[in-house]
Structure 1
């Protein structure tokens, strides 16, 4: 038998995990500190793999209120065509930040409080909406000047 000891430190927000794979196809996710024993001298490969979100989600922008830049974060559990659009409170489109197919993962984009022509928008409340496949979610944000 072989005993394998490990001490894994992953930076906060990294969204990666260490996976030890054997030549028989077994995988062990290594987290924190620990050890495990395997019955025979198998071959192993240690890989860093991205952690995939379990569900779609649109987070509250940060900072909020903001001036003039804010960050919008969202989770994609699967590949999807994504649009992320900013609207005014009357429902008029201000700008489209994302309009493309994206791979799964933890995503973020910044908005600099400009419209689709690059002109600064006025202070006020804005909506931002994500559409990814069948998933749709909308949130509010406040621009202060």
Structure 2
């Protein structure tokens, strides 16, 4: 046992561990801050089911972890894959493969980002030989909270060959993908069916980008990175006065907090120049998302957490400012990696 003022375990691998790979106890004093704990970019294979136990560790960060080919332990602590305790602790971007059907637990104020829990085969090069190099066709490349691979980055040495499909929507509707991506990417050659789903009083108009025409549904072969836009239009015979917005407005971004991207829905009642700009907490401009004329209608714009130069920005609080004619709305959002 050791006393310490911080614990950072990063870019490490564990194999054949029967007890927890990391077992850490903090005190019960709620008046003082707990020691910073970061467990990130870790690969765990062929080890006991409960890989981490952090007791009363407020503010701990557990992310970008692979847990694969787990087994029952010799000590009976097999009720969960990991348990993280403590107010403000976060568990996110965890990939489990061939593990026992038990949960990832956040207790005593810890939270689990369920949308970033994956069940993807890591595609190790030779796990039996303790070689956990991710093969080029691994879908874990680029899936981490920081845009890197999930797991120990010492094993993420290949150039990935998987391909991505980016879908944008103009006006009111959505698009479903079949099959869905594995994480964020597809195997090359996958045929994806895209189905445009208009909202009430709207109809699908056409596809643009790497898919063109107005067939719905339609298919696309993933022989490279692809980008598609689905365009919807107001149905003929619908009263524009009732279907189109009456005022300028922007809804709170969602999700919030977010990682890696968030969406902004806004409405424009008449032809106007719209500005949507993201700033950091110091008031410095980070990204211009819109600065152009829009027709009357409903719009959705996504922010991918990058600045105007294309670089990923840091975790923190950001401010977005929406302006159209004399209407201005300013709100906060949190990027959490």
* TM-score normalised by length of structure 1: 0.68
The equivalent of 2:94 in structure 1 is none
Higher-Rg structure is 2
The equivalent of 2:132 in structure 1 is none
Q: Is the 8 A contact 1:56 1:135 kept in 2?
A: yes
The equivalent of 1:54 in structure 2 is 246
Distance 2:200 2:292 in 1: 22
Please list the CA deviations of residues 104-127 of structure 1 after superposition, one character each: whole Å capped at 9, or x if unmatched.
Answer: 111110000000000000000101
Distance 1:60-1:13 versus aligned 2 partners, 3 A rule: farther
Unmatched segments (≥5 aa) in structure 1: 1-10, 18-45
Distance 1:144-1:104 versus aligned 2 partners, 3 A rule: same
1:1-145 pair list within 5 angstroms: 14=199, 16=201, 47-49=236-238, 51-145=243-337
Distance 2:308 2:270 in 1: 28
Q: Tell me the secondary structure at the aligned position of residue 47 of structure 1.
A: coil
Distance 1:94 1:76 in 2: 24
Unmatched segments (≥5 aa) in structure 2: 1-173, 175-196, 203-234
Distance 1:135-1:13 versus aligned 2 partners, 3 A rule: farther
Please list the CA deviations of residues 21-63 of structure 1 after superposition, one character each: whole Å capped at 9, or x if unmatched.
Answer: xxxxxxxxxxxxxxxxxxxxxxxxx924462111111110000
After the TM superposition, list the runs of 4 or more consecutive aligned residues in structure 1 that deviate by more than 2 angstroms. Answer: 46-50
* TM-score normalised by length of structure 2: 0.30
Q: Is the 8 A contact 1:15 1:106 kept in 2?
A: no
Instruction: Write 1 or 2 for the structure with the bigger share of strand.
Output: 1
The equivalent of 1:21 in structure 2 is none
Distance 1:15-1:101 versus aligned 2 partners, 3 A rule: farther
